[in-house]
Amino acid sequence: MNDKHPQSSISRRRFNTTASAAMGALAGFHFFPALSDNKLGKPTVVGIGAGGKGTADINGASKAGFHVIGLVDVIDSTKLTKLEGRLRKMGQTRQQFPDARFFTDYREMFSEVGDQVD
């Protein structure tokens, strides 16, 4: 009987174990350079939606230690004379984070401060 598959010196199980360990090591080494670039400062975040649920998210991130560097909403509440409901919350959020730049388009925000966001 003619054998079409010659016997290998390494078993399939051994090959899979070795290959998995090698892939894990390669994936792990990818993250080490990113850690060395850390400035050991506060992580930064931007808030998309400065009123309603966005207010709760931004406040939660701030309380967790994040530095809010940008806020974006489709309505610029400082240009309106009457603030009601969501608009009032949006205005309060902007006052709470005076150092954060305000945008009305998230694409513009990420274009200008995206490289600063952690």
Query: Percent of the chain at pLDDT above 70?
Result: 67
Residue carrying the six token digits 């240009």: 79
pTM of the full structure: 0.44
What pLDDT was estimated at residue 82? 55
User: To 10 degrees, the CA torsion angle through 45, 47, 48, 51?
Assistant: 170
* CB atoms near residue 86 (< 10 Å): 18
11 vs 44, more confident: 44
Rounded to whole angstroms, the Cα distance separating 61 from 113 reads 17
Q: Please say whether the beta carbons of 84 and 52 come within 8 A.
A: no
pLDDT classification of 36: cutoffs 50, 70, 90: very low
